[in-house]
Copies of this chain bind each other. A is one copy, B any other.
Amino acid sequence: MTVNVAVVGASGYTGAELFRLLANHPKVNLVGAYGMKNTGKKVSEIHPSLQGIVDLRIEDSDCKKIRQVAEVVFTATPHGVAMKLVPELLRGNIKVIDLSADYRFDDVKIFEKYYVKHESPELKGVYGLPELYRKKIKSAELVANPGCFPTAALLSLAPLVKKKLIDLEHIIIDAKTGTSGAGATPTESTHHPLVGANVTAYKATTHRHTPEINQELSKLAGTTVRAYFTPHLLPIVRGILSTAHVFLKKSMPKPELLEIYREFYRGELFVRVREELPQVNYVVGSNYCDIGVETETDGNRAVIVAVIDNLVKGASGQAVQNMNIMLGFEETEGLRGSALRP
């Protein structure tokens, strides 16, 4: 038994990654590729690694056509686009996983402050972080796939915030990302001569993943949490390493802290709690989020490091994981590849 799946946003990197993953998913029948750019071309003309694997032609994002062929749709579109398509897709009884920010926010005003005016604010998506919301995802029609930085930051902080073990006023998240997170459009900030041997902090106090992180941390804590988030751009293509610096309310040695994480994530298939701090190349190419901790010798500060592949667990892999949950497939179906290391 297979399901008919379409991807809207065929030219972007999360689109490409969806194709890579879905092409090897034994229960998926890839029926359509849609977008506003490159219509008429084959997916494999835009993403040459997919030659002979995904040779579908890219079509205009016409919801009527999509509804005729697809049972599940991934919208891997720029922010502000899915909000125009999703209402009509849902009316066709289609399950939608949106990879943009359009349906991630409980409070549409926050979305509108950081992104654009919302055109379907009445619709609510389930926040697609399976480790926190698996039950809701199971019955969702519309899943809002989390941002890449929030995925890493939330998984690294959830146990401590949920269990109220840390000072909530001094949470620092210092994240490091590869350049693929910037998307497929060339700009000066991804121009190799300037980025290839460089490191940059950007939007150091204003990144729009901050409110997304704070929304979810606040729900975990049951009170308003304001974490401080600063991303950095590195000369690697894939991968996020998110370093959370936190102050423990009660000092704790590393083994005790680690046990809290092990307990919290017991049974989780894509979270690996590790004895030592994980590195980006433990996960790049896979859907894993690896987490490790260190504490000061006197136990008052802890450093929590989480690593993900920004295009897999940080985007398209997690989207497929959400699809698997929504359709009752095995959660790891199509996602069992391990990282390329070296």
Q: Which A residues fall within an 8 A CB radius of B? A: 13, 16, 20, 23-24, 47-53, 170, 172, 174, 176, 178-180, 182, 184, 186-188, 190-202, 204-206, 228, 230, 232, 234-239, 241, 243, 245, 247, 272, 274, 277-286, 290, 294-297, 301, 303, 305, 307, 311, 336-342
Q: Which of B24, B284, B295 contacts A197 (CB 8 A)?
A: B284
Residues of B within 8 A of A278 (CB): 48
**Inter-chain pairs besides A47-B341, A49-B283, A191-B192, 17 sampled, C-beta below 8 Å:** A49-B281, A49-B286, A52-B272, A172-B172, A176-B234, A179-B193, A180-B193, A180-B342, A186-B190, A192-B192, A194-B342, A195-B196, A196-B235, A197-B281, A198-B280, A232-B241, A311-B342
| Nearest Cβ on chain B to A61's Cβ, whole angstroms | 23
* Residues of B with C-beta under 8 A to A198: 236, 239, 279-281
CB distance from A334 to the nearest CB of B (A): 11
Oligomer: number of copies: 4
B234 touches A234 (CB 8 A): yes
Residue of A236, A305, A311 with most partner-chain B CB within 10 A: A236
The reply to whether B192 and A179 contact each other, CB–CB distance below 8 Å, is yes
List, in ascending order, chain B residues with CB within 8 A of A230's CB. Answer: 243, 245, 303
Whether the Cβ atoms of B174 and A182 lie closer than 8 Å is no
Say whether B228 contacts A49, CB under 8 Å.
no
Residues of B within 8 A of A247 (CB): 170
Residues of chain B lying within 8 A (CB to CB) of residue A48: 274, 278-279, 282, 341
The CA of A196 and the CA of B204, in the complex, are separated in Å by 24
Q: How far is the CB of A27 from chain B (nearest CB, A)?
A: 14
Give the top 5 A-B pairs by smallest Cβ distance, nearest first: A193-B342, A49-B339, A186-B186, A174-B174, A179-B192
Contacts of A196 in B (CB 8 A): 179, 192, 195-196, 235-237
Find the B residue at minimum CB distance from A302: B205
Q: How far does the Cβ of A291 sit from chain B's closest Cβ, in whole Å?
A: 12
